[in-house]
Structure 1
């Protein structure tokens, strides 16, 4: 188990806003609707009430301060090896058994290589937040996937859509390799992408159509820490508050991205009509 003892750096972020906007606490109070007493108290003790955080970070975001995104750049410059995790309700501790069985690669702690990735998975939830972690792969066994057939089959297996093909020898070989490592590194597959994969496992589209459609995702890589040994190679850095304006912008981005995947699926169906179907691949 990994304890996650980090929170919003609201005290430092308020200081940044005051300096950048050339404001004092009285003026910031007037602009945000936060009482001076509350602002003064933050200087003495870290305040994390959602109502206060929302006013502070919404004010910053609406004034074009992309604090969270810029922090990503800075911590990567400082630590180099940094990953992000989106949490719907907040984290106090992490275990490898905390995820659902039907996640992309089974049980494990899932992280992405960018802040925006992590945000995209939790932007629909009001109380969600993103966490950053330092990591290393010292003494860990790693399995890497590309956006290819092996990757797609593995995800369909863990998400439970392979049906009668689940015990196929090719599938078993892939799964055994996954379960024998500490960390899996693979392209991210969200629910929109899995809709395309499901059409492949149901025999509606061939593998070429599916993979060319999925290549439109551009979501980057996910890192799944699957063992307790792997968790020991993670160090929490910071928790990031997701204001309503930032989450709304993310939802707009995801909506636009879904149109791109839909369009590429339709074009791929026209272009790649001779690819192999699941029955032909998993005989």
Structure 2
């Protein structure tokens, strides 16, 4: 299986220390199985930080989900209540219950797979956190959103499954 990472630099080796915290699934190296999505992210990153868009391609064996020593949280492709709580907890700088199964700030999962929370979803999350809307309204706003895919690698154990593709 091929996974793509949009950036403004060529990535030969993945350094988890360079990854930013408070992302959808926590601090991790993020990829997608949708090449066009990675191209758009590369353009966005280049606009923000300079440089030229680069799509880094990695390979992972197709049956990685069956490996017994890798902890994987797979939300599928649909936004759900569980997914929404997980994303909100990981993005929230004041959320401290790291033992909660709906949080990955402690890297309890080596890999997390699921939809991307886009800017419109982020607005809904902020409205909920600021008590402008209730949780049911938040969920209704997420249900029909077209989502894209992300794979986040949180641990060295997970990162070791990735191989730089020879393009």
TM-score bucket (shorter structure): 0.7 to 0.9
| Alignment correspondent of 1:182 | 110
Deviations 1:113-171 (A, max 9, x none): 2012212323232512112211131342211225122221222222226x5xx3569x8
1:181 offset after TM fit, Å? 1.9
1:224 offset after TM fit, Å? 0.7
Do 1:96 and 1:108's aligned partners in 2 also have CA atoms closer than 8 Å? Answer: yes
Q: Which runs of 5+ in 2 are unaligned?
A: none
Say which structure is richer in helix.
Answer: 1
Normalising by structure 2, report the TM-score: 0.78
Aligned residues: 155
| Alignment correspondent of 2:53 | 128
Do 2:57 and 2:164's aligned partners in 1 also have CA atoms closer than 8 Å? Answer: yes
Q: Partners of 1:90 and 1:167 in 2: how far apart?
A: 34
Structure label with greater radius of gyration: 1
| Alignment correspondent of 2:37 | 117
| Alignment correspondent of 1:274 | none
Q: Please, what is the CA RMSD of the aligned residues?
A: 2.6
Normalising by structure 1, report the TM-score: 0.48
* 1:207–1:88 CA distance, 2 compared to 1 (3 A): farther
Structure with larger RCO (C-alpha < 8 A, sep 6+): 2
Q: Which runs of 5+ in 1 are unaligned?
A: 1-80, 240-283
| Alignment correspondent of 2:9 | 89
Q: Partners of 1:91 and 1:229 in 2: how far apart?
A: 18
| Alignment correspondent of 2:81 | 149
Do 1:95 and 1:108's aligned partners in 2 also have CA atoms closer than 8 Å? Answer: no
Q: Does 1:212 align with 2:132?
A: no
1:108 offset after TM fit, Å? 1.3
